[in-house]
Amino acid sequence: MLSSVDVNRYARQLLEARALSQTLPPLSAAASLSVEEAYQITHRIMSLRSARGEQLVGRKIEFSNRKVWQCFGLDEALHGPIWAPLFASTVRDAEDNTGVQSLAGAMQPRIEPEIVFGLGKTPAPDADLQTIADCIDWMAHGIEITDCPYPGWQFNAVDAIAAFGLHGTLIIGQRVNLNRSARANLATLLSAASVSLSCSGDEIFTLRAAGFGSDVFGSPVHALLQLHRQLCAEPQFPPLAAGDIVATGSWTNPFAVEPGQTWTTAFSALSLPGMSIGFV
């Protein structure tokens, strides 16, 4: 059992590593941590960040796409997606679905295209797929820039949970309001959609990856429901609520990003604009 002293120590080590842009050995290299203990570290980090004035705005889901697990060097099986808190300091909107993102201070950054939901209602504890969809007020395309404090992206699930769910920055594109009809068919619509991810460093764009909504736990709406159920089973954390933002996980493999590159996305079978983000 991890002591409260150790929980606090690990939380402060991770916060310091992020503040100084320094890597550190995986926590699991020094201690055998359970998933529950990793979330204790998450809880302590949330408390420390809130105490210094940061605003919790939602959650990020990671590892909702089983096809990309092999990219992360995980040494243990995951039984489902993991989650991490989103604070206002690392979430921003991209006007006209374009933007410029600085990589200053980022540790081994990678790019992930995903779908982001904004909740208009608080889900009931016993919500099912349709009732969780009815709680979604808007959806948007999101670009997640992941950030890894562990050398060479080598870690296991508990390390990822403790290290902010590998969250770096979430860039949100145009927010599309959803009516009742759209919400009724949203899980199926997103499951059938696909996204392409392309990169340019010299004005020639190269397709790097394509992915499907069905790869994200069956559909991003399924991933949202799984997150809701996880939080309901963890009463030490606040449940999902109206106003929350939820990033539901990558549709493609993650790719390293560098200054000077521009990355673009485009959807098929989904009336949602892609994004173009340049990195400096």
Among 65, 36, 15, 14, which residue's Cα sits nearest to residue 250? 65
* Better-scored residue on pLDDT, 163 or 79: 163
> Average pLDDT of the chain?
93
Kindly state the average pLDDT of the residues 73-101: 84
Span 144-173, pLDDT tens digits:
999 999 999 998 889 999 999 999 999 999
Residue 70: per-residue pLDDT = 62
Q: What is the pLDDT of residue 79?
A: 57
Q: Rounded to whole angstroms, how far apart are CA atoms 54 and 162?
A: 18
Rg of the chain, C-alpha, whole Å? 18
Name the more confident of 2 and 117: 117
Q: Which CATH number fits domain 4-98+106-192+212-254: 3.90.850.10, 3.90.1150.10, 3.30.497.10, 3.40.190.10?
A: 3.90.850.10
Question: What pLDDT band is residue 2 in, cutting at 50, 70 and 90?
Answer: confident
Q: Are 158 and 33 in contact (CB under 8 A)?
A: yes
CA angle 44, 27, 152 (to 5 degrees): 120
- Pair 208, 261: CB distance under 8 Å: no
- Calculate mean pLDDT across residues 106-114: 97
How far apart CA 206 and CA 85 sit, in angstroms, is 33
Per residue in 225-265, pLDDT (tens digit) is 999 999 999 999 999 999 999 999 999 999 999 999 999 99
Average pLDDT on 54-82 reads: 75
- Contact between 56 and 43 under an 8 Å Cβ cutoff? The reply is no
Confidence class of residue 66 from pLDDT cuts 50, 70 and 90? confident
pLDDT of residue 81: 82
Contact status, residue 145 vs residue 110, Cβ threshold 8 Å = yes
174: number of Cβ within 10 Å: 16
Residue 75 has pLDDT above 50, yes or no: no
The answer to which of 60-64, 76-80, 263-267 has the lowest mean pLDDT is 76-80
Asked if residue 247 lies in contact with residue 227, where contact means CB atoms within 8 angstroms, the answer is no
Average pLDDT over residues 48-68: 92
Stated pTM of the model: 0.95
Token pair in block for residue 6: 């150790």
